Each structure stands twice: as structure tokens, then as C-alpha cells.
Amino acid sequence: YQAKRDRSGVEVYEVTRDANTPDRLGLLGDLRRALDSGDVELHYQPKVRFDGQVAGLEALVRWVHPERGRVSPEEFITIAETSGLMPQLTEYVLDTALAQIARWRRMGLDVPVAVNVSPRDVHSPGFAGAVAARLARHQVPPGSLQLEITEHVLLEDPQRAADTLNGLTGHGVKMSLDDFGTGYSSLVHLRRLPVSELKIDRSFVARLVVDSEDAEIVRCTIDLAHSLGLLVVAEGVEDDETWERLRDLHCDAVQGWLVAAAMPAEETTRWLRARGERGWQRPAKTPAPA
Ligand code: C2E
Ligand code: MG
Ligand code: MG
Ligand code: MG
């Protein structure tokens, strides 16, 4: 558990990081078993460009607990991070995603898949090599895998993080900076990280149309990213108006319920096939009532 001492030397618990409450211990054991038995699933959410072409898919982990029902990723990822289970979860997600990429490639569907990795992964020694070994084992070209990291990787040991990320890009894996705008990293850090894509956090995208300050943040982020040669993806796009604003701001791609929510693998296959060469088309607007 995460015990800290306050100024008087008394141990205090950080409630949200405490992995040892009975509830969390129960969930942790169940999660460990779910990983062993393959009860944790991946769903895939498309990233599409404004011309409709599918730029890639993001793998998002899903766990339906036999008694509690769906447990949100935010919740069990925190548990995995604080309990030391993160390496197993990440290995599981990587293997499942890589096996699926290989399957799709055999069907003639060649679409890059992004996997979310935690700061723990990036700081674990040998991570870059382990990813390269997994790619080889699944016979997946490195360009078909993308890893999404957050600015939090820079909080602990920026040099170590940069070394790992350089190792990964050296192997040909593309890096994406997720949830941009919510962390504390400086622009200097951004320049130092070998990322090729930046994802604007949903919190800014959601208010883009209604809040002029959020609109300004999004505009500046897109311009900054472009000036550094990065592609920009907006996450959490739910409506037409937001899509149009992002297109006008020269954002490169969007992800969100407007296009599709994360879907199980089979449904993703059908979705990709149905879009075919034309890619995703926005549904025609219903004319406003006269
Ligand atoms: P994220 O990587 O930023 O993923 C985006 C989240 O926004 C996903 O939530 C997705 O389902 C949700 N989302 C997508 N489009 C929309 C939209 O239009 N509106 C709204 N309101 N939400 C949308 P999810 O799947 O619950 O995942 C939450 C977070 O958990 C992820 O945020 C990511 O940080 C983490 N996560 C998910 N899967 C993994 C994984 O395999 N490994 C690790 N380390 N973290 C993961
Ligand atoms: Mg992500
Ligand atoms: Mg994100
Ligand atoms: Mg986010």
C-alpha cells in the first residue's frame, strides 16, 4: 500500500491510492484470475480522418465482473497500477492486440492499432525490448503498433522515460501522447519526447463549441503540434458541430461516439469492412423543420 508520513511522522493513507482495502483486494484477486482465464476483453475504437479514411484503432480494455458487472477501466487500472499487476495487464493487452492485428492482416485489413500503456510500463527496465520481442513473436510489423502514453511518464524520471521511448521508436513503434492538456509537462518536454501524434483531451473537445477559452486552447494545441510536425487527434467527439469546428481548425483526425464507440473485435471487423474504400461518412443531416 501507499503509506506516507505526514510532517509529524504519522503514517497517513492516501485513500485513492490504497490498494489494500478489502474491496480492492477482492477486485485485485478477481482481476488476476480474469487475466489468467482470458475474461478481460479488448474493444476497438476507430480514429478517422476528415476525408473519412480510418487512421487507426485504439484498443480499450473491458472487464465484466461475474458479480459486479462492468468495472470501469479507470477503476481497475488504478488497482493494477498500485498493486504491481500492471506488467501482467499490459502483457495481456499487448498480446491480445497483436494477435488481433495479425488476424486482421490475414483478412486483408491493415490498420494500425494503438495500445494504452501506463507510466509504470515505460519505467520498467527492458520494456522496449519486450515489446519488440512480442511484435516478432506475432509477426506484426512495428508500424502496425502504436503506444499511447500520457504526460505522467515524465513525472518520475524523464530521462529513463525518454530512453525507453527512444528505444521503442528505434524499433519502429509509433508513440502517441494521450490526454494532452491535462498534465503538467512543459513544451520543452514535449519537444524531447519522440511522439508522432498528440491527442487532445476530451475535456477540451467537449466544450469546444460552447466555451471560447477551450476553443482557443484547442486551436493553439493544434497549431503547436503541427509546428512540431505531429499529427493531432481529438478525442471524445460526440456531435457534428464539434467535428466541423475541428475540421476548420485543421485537426487531423477524430475519435468519438459521433464516429463509433469502442466495439468488440468481430463488430470492428464488420465496421471496417462496411466502410471499405470510402471510409467513414458522416450521416446526412436531417433538414431542420420549416
Ligand atoms: P483514454 O485512453 O483517453 O481513452 C478514451 C476514453 O474515452 C475511453 O474510455 C473511451 O471509451 C472514451 N470515449 C471515447 N469516445 C468518447 C466520446 O465520444 N464521449 C465520451 N464521453 N467518452 C468517449 P475507457 O474505455 O473507459 O477508458 C478510460 C481510460 O482507461 C483510457 O483513457 C485509458 O487511459 C485507460 N485504459 C483503457 N484501456 C487501457 C489499457 O489497455 N491499458 C492501460 N494502461 N490503460 C487503459
Ligand atoms: Mg488512449
Ligand atoms: Mg485519451
Ligand atoms: Mg482521455
64 CA from centroid of ligand 2 (Å): 20
pLDDT, one tens digit per residue, over 67-105 is: 999 999 999 999 999 999 999 999 999 999 999 999 999
Q: Does residue 15 carry a pLDDT above 60?
A: no
Q: Does residue 19 carry a pLDDT above 60?
A: no
224-228, long-range: CB < 8 A, 24+ apart: 224/187, 225/198, 226/250, 228/190, 228/191
Nearest-CA residue for atom 37 of ligand 1: 60
Contacting residues for 106 by C-beta, under 8 A, at least 6 apart: none
8 CA from centroid of ligand 2 (Å): 40
Pocket test for ligand 1, best of 44, 58, 60 (most atoms within 8 A of CB): 60
287 CA from centroid of ligand 2 (Å): 35
ipTM score assigned to the predicted complex: 0.98
pLDDT of residue 249: 98
Strand partners for 40: 63
Nearest-CA residue for atom 13 of ligand 1: 236
CB 262 within 8 A of CB 73: no
12 CA from centroid of ligand 3 (Å): 31
Q: Does residue 286 carry a pLDDT above 80?
A: no
Q: Residue 167, Cβ neighbours under 10 Å: how many?
A: 17
Q: Does residue 278 carry a pLDDT above 90?
A: no
Q: Does residue 6 carry a pLDDT above 70?
A: no
pLDDT, one tens digit per residue, over 187-240 is: 777 777 899 999 999 999 999 999 999 999 999 999 999 999 999 999 999 999
Segment 12-21 shows an average pLDDT of 54
Nearest-CA residue for atom 42 of ligand 1: 116
Contacting residues for 2 by C-beta, under 8 A, at least 6 apart: 13, 14, 17, 18, 19, 82
Residues with CB under 6 A from ligand 1: 45, 60-61, 72-74, 77, 93, 116-118, 148, 178-179, 202, 235-238, 255-257, 262
79 CA from centroid of ligand 1 (Å): 16
CA 45 to ligand 1: nearest atom: 14
